[in-house]
Amino acid sequence: MIELESVRYGYPHTKNDAIKDVTLKVGQGTCVMVTGPSGAGKTTLCLAAAGILAHEYGGRKGGTVTIDGRNVNEFKDLSELASRIGVVFDDPDAQLIFTTVEEEILSALERRGLSADEIEERLRTVMEITHLSALKDRAPHTLSGGQKQRVVLATTLALGTDILILDEPTSELDEHGTTSILGILKDLKARGRTILLVEHKFQRMQEIVDTLIVMEGGSIRAKGQPADLLGDPGIRQIVVPDFAGIRQNGRAAGAGPVPVISLDRLSHSYGDIPALTDVSLSISPGEFVAIVGENGSGKTTLIKHFNGLLRPTAGTVSVRGKDTSGATITELAHDVGLVFQNPDHMFFADTVRDEVAFGPANLGIQDLETVIDRALGKVRLLPAKGLYPRWLSRGERQRLAIACVVAMNPAIIVLDEPTTGLDGKEAREVMEVLKDLQLEGHTVIIVTHSKEIARDVADRVVTMERGRVISDQAVPEGS
Amino acid sequence: MTEILQYVHKDGLFHRMAPVTKILFVVVISAISIFSIRIPFLIAVLIGLLLLAYLGNVLSELFRQFVLLVVMGIIMLALAVITLPNGETIGYLVPQGVPVIGGIVPVTTGGISLGIIMALRFAVLVLAVQIFVISTQPRDLVHTLERMRVPIDFTLMFVIALRFIPTLQIEGTRIQEAQLARGYNPGKGFIGKVRSLVPIMVPLVSNALVRANTLGLTIDMRGYRTRKRTVLRERVLRSADKAAIFLIAAGFILFIWLYLAKAV
């Protein structure tokens, strides 16, 4: 059981507290799910509940945190805290230290004062629960996101604690990966574990959630049984992504004579491994296309061909009527803007303004200040112009990444998973921005795991499986 | 992607050896290659290492670094020729016929042989360490060094540095792709590499720093720095290890004897 009583915390060198007056209780054997916009203090709440803030962080602290009735300050160190609680942080890569899956799990087991037999037994059980037996000799960098997340979960389970704290364990996972984590959590709850879960995917997780907490601006905005809270429309829009009505705002004027992107029997292999096979696709100007499919189905490989980051092993790619085989990536960047899944892979400048200026300056676009202001206005980030990009919340960083590409004014804007790590409201805001861009005449192509986006926003849904397009459907008008 | 300095899970001579045997092997090979100044002897050590790698089923992994070794070898040779002229002059890098600058940078026999010795030493050192890293599970290494009373912080630092090489390689590629997609064209060659530093290195380092925080918490929560370890799946010294240690020791004594007799 975890109890937080009027907990307050401010990071060193910051003015505002990251969490304010938070009181909550995670009862024995229950699952409490915390959700809310990025920057609401959810991760800080996890660190507070785990006792990590008390032991490892400076800054301004207040209130009390108890684990099974014992104040976290009374624990000697993190290692002692870890005998009661297990924490899964949001970046799986940062939690994998060794070079095989089995070593990783053993590393969590061998310093807990167990006998060798007990360790072998627990290793077997944990690998069974997390379905990792077949992967035991694999190196972390060869695993998919979902597999890595399962390994991290396994090492945390190996600690054998009754309480689990998980910070967005499924944010980068596809449908299949999320289902697999949900299955494991369901199993753990049935075994009586206490779970504090930070998540955005309430609809997927609702069957295990007893109490829902919605955070905003560092405080608890609402707390209670999910059914009661969702009656409030303000809460509902944060918890449940709802893109209804976005498509009805208008559709692109019919297909033009020349497709903006045309793929003819495109194939691509990484060494001997085929990633795309015989993909033919034609995208018209002004379309809003969603590309869906499981991890590893070839979606990202496909979109990297649009701007020349990858070149076909066989077949051709044409952008605005021109074969791309002779064009450089810089030339193609005039026509195709690509926003990657993780915005942190692009930010290097000291201010939001300089970050946005980078792309258009590279392309020699004139009148930079107007271009920058327009792009920032479009993603509603003008007030943040002078800030350091990495200080922004995840939702703001995602919109900044879009602004960086919009400022280059490409005819085609391609986005890889633009709603990763965002709550329902933020995801809707991003989709509204993209819809506006479409209405201005841009062609928008997004890769997404979200069924709702494919259903409620896109004009056309292309489904991929094992490197092939298995379905390509226009969404009927007015649906 | 080429994976550098990573443990490779397979079966072979070196994989079956205990880490302590391999540490001794690396230390002795390093000492031999540093002390010896005879080219034929160093070539023999290099061939011997490659032969052992072949027998140990790790030759294909070693050959991935072949280009690096050749390039570094050429650089060392050039540096030695340019900076350490010694012995008989057999020619000039700039031919004597060239006006004004003709005849500068003499190529000497001493410079060449020193360059070859350095290149061979480098190759032997790199290959020996590679064989060790490819065939030793980091967990076994941590245990062995712990028993040798090396502080756990240093050991983890070493293991984690190795573990994150491929992760950083992958991340670096992603960052580069993101910047290229923003029309970034650093240009080719050396100047291009230097210009690409800020937009690539700043995100790479910033992300790594964030990750380091989580990594630190993870290590502490697993009790790595505070708790005693249960002895489990220990790599005991088997008879093959003992035989290998005997051979390594005998080889080293033989080397010292030959070295003192100025034969190697």
For B152-200, what is each residue's pLDDT tens digit?
888 888 888 888 888 898 899 999 999 999 988 877 677 767 766 788 8
The reply to whether B22 and B128 lie within a common domain is yes
CA-nearest of A152, A187, A227, A193 to A29 is A193
Asked which of A216, A239, A262 is the last residue of a domain, the reply is A239
Chosen for mutation from B15, B221, B229, B233 (greatest number of chain A CBs closer than 10 Å) is: B221
Q: Which residues lie below 8 Å from residue B120, measured CB to CB, with a gap of 6+?
A: B33, B39, B42, B43, B45, B46, B73
The reply to whether B194 and B258 lie within a common domain is no
The reply to whether B113 and B173 lie within a common domain is no
Lowest-confidence pick of A325-339, B108-122, B195-209: B195-209
- Asked if A341 reaches chain B (Cβ–Cβ under 8 Å), the answer is no
Work out how many domains chain B is built from and give that number: 2
Ranges of chain A whose pLDDT falls below 70: 248-256, 477-479
Asked if residues A200 and A36 have their Cβ atoms less than 8 Å apart, the reply is no
Assign B235 a pLDDT band (cuts: 50, 70, 90).
confident
Are A408 and B182 in contact (CB < 8 Å)? yes
The reply to whether A229 and A279 lie within a common domain is no
CA angle A253, A255, A259 (to 5 degrees): 135
pLDDT for residue A479: 55
pLDDT for residue A477: 65
Are B163 and A140 in contact (CB < 8 Å)? yes
The reply to whether A255 and A311 lie within a common domain is yes
In A89-108, the residues whose Cβ lies within 8 Å of chain B are 89, 91, 93-100, 103, 106-108
The reply to whether B66 and B128 lie within a common domain is yes
The reply to whether B113 and B192 lie within a common domain is no
The reply to whether A9 and A141 lie within a common domain is yes
pLDDT for residue B225: 74
User: Which run of H or of E encompasses A39?
Assistant: none
Are A99 and B163 in contact (CB < 8 Å)? yes
Are B217 and A78 in contact (CB < 8 Å)? yes
The reply to whether A317 and A447 lie within a common domain is yes
Q: Is the dihedral of CA A171, A175, A180, A184 positive or negative?
A: positive
Work out how many domains chain A is built from and give that number: 2
Report yes or no on A401 lying in a domain: yes
The reply to whether A12 and A77 lie within a common domain is yes
Are B138 and A103 in contact (CB < 8 Å)? yes
Report yes or no on B175 lying in a domain: yes
Q: Where are the beta strands (DSSP E) in A271-335?
A: 273-283, 288-292, 314-319, 322-323
Q: Using a CB-CB distance cutoff of 8 angstroms, which residues of chain B are in contact with residue A103?
A: 137-139
Q: 3-state DSSP call for residue A138?
A: coil
pLDDT for residue B2: 56
pLDDT for residue A251: 57
Are B182 and A114 in contact (CB < 8 Å)? no
CA angle A122, A142, B203 (to 5 degrees): 110
pLDDT for residue A250: 59
Chosen for mutation from B210, B222, B225, B235 (greatest number of chain A CBs closer than 10 Å) is: B222
- CA A132 to chain centroid, in Å, comes to 23
Number of neighbours of residue A54 by Cβ within 10 angstroms: 21
Report yes or no on B95 lying in a domain: yes
pLDDT for residue A90: 86
pLDDT for residue B223: 83
pTM of the entire predicted model:
0.83
Asked if residues A99 and A139 have their Cβ atoms less than 8 Å apart, the reply is yes
Q: Using a CB-CB distance cutoff of 8 angstroms, which residues of chain B are in contact with residue A110?
A: 229-230, 232
Q: Using a CB-CB distance cutoff of 8 angstroms, which residues of chain A are in contact with residue B229?
A: 110-111
A347: nearest CA in chain B? Answer: B203
Report yes or no on A479 lying in a domain: no
Angstroms from A36 CA to nearest CA on chain B: 22
Q: Using a CB-CB distance cutoff of 8 angstroms, which residues of chain B are in contact with residue A98?
A: 137-139, 159, 163
The reply to whether B123 and B198 lie within a common domain is no
Angstroms from B87 CA to nearest CA on chain A: 50
pLDDT for residue A478: 57
Asked if residues B94 and B16 have their Cβ atoms less than 8 Å apart, the reply is no
The reply to whether A203 and A260 lie within a common domain is no
Are A111 and B163 in contact (CB < 8 Å)? no
Angstroms from A24 CA to nearest CA on chain B: 24
Are B221 and A155 in contact (CB < 8 Å)? no
pLDDT for residue A256: 61
Residue A352's Cβ-side half-sphere holds a number of Cα atoms within 13 Å equal to 27
The reply to whether A387 and A438 lie within a common domain is yes
Range of the domain at B47: 12-136+236-264
Asked if residues A416 and A303 have their Cβ atoms less than 8 Å apart, the reply is yes
Q: What is the pLDDT of residues B27-86, one digit of tens each?
A: 999 999 999 989 999 999 999 999 999 999 999 888 887 888 899 999 999 998 888 888
A283: phi then psi, degrees, rounded to nearest 5 = -115, 130
- Using only the alpha carbons of chain B, give its radius of gyration: 23
Say if residue B109's pLDDT is above 60.
yes
The reply to whether A178 and A267 lie within a common domain is no
Chosen for mutation from A75, A93, A394 (greatest number of chain B CBs closer than 10 Å) is: A93
Residue range B104-113: mean pLDDT, rounded: 86
Asked which of A211, A239, A267 is the last residue of a domain, the reply is A239
Structure tokens, A392: 């922004």
Q: Which of B203, B207, B224 sits opposite A111 (nearest CB)?
A: B224
pLDDT for residue A252: 56
Range of the domain at A288: 247-474
Q: Where are the alpha helices (DSSP H) in B136-185?
A: 138-147, 152-180
Q: Which of A79, A93, A159 sits opposite B226 (nearest CB)?
A: A79
Go through A181-215 and write b for each residue having 16 or more CB atoms within 10 A of its CB, e for each that does not. Answer: bbebbeebbeeebbbbbbbbbbeebbebbebbbbb
Please state, in angstroms and rounded to a whole number, the distance separating the CA atoms of residues A463 and B238. Answer: 56
Q: What is the pLDDT of residues A120-168, one digit of tens each?
A: 999 999 998 888 988 988 888 888 888 898 999 999 999 889 999 999 9
Q: Which of residues A295 and B253 earns the better pLDDT score?
A: B253
pLDDT for residue A263: 95
pLDDT for residue B97: 78
Q: Using a CB-CB distance cutoff of 8 angstroms, which residues of chain A are in contact with residue B231?
A: 116
The reply to whether B248 and B121 lie within a common domain is yes
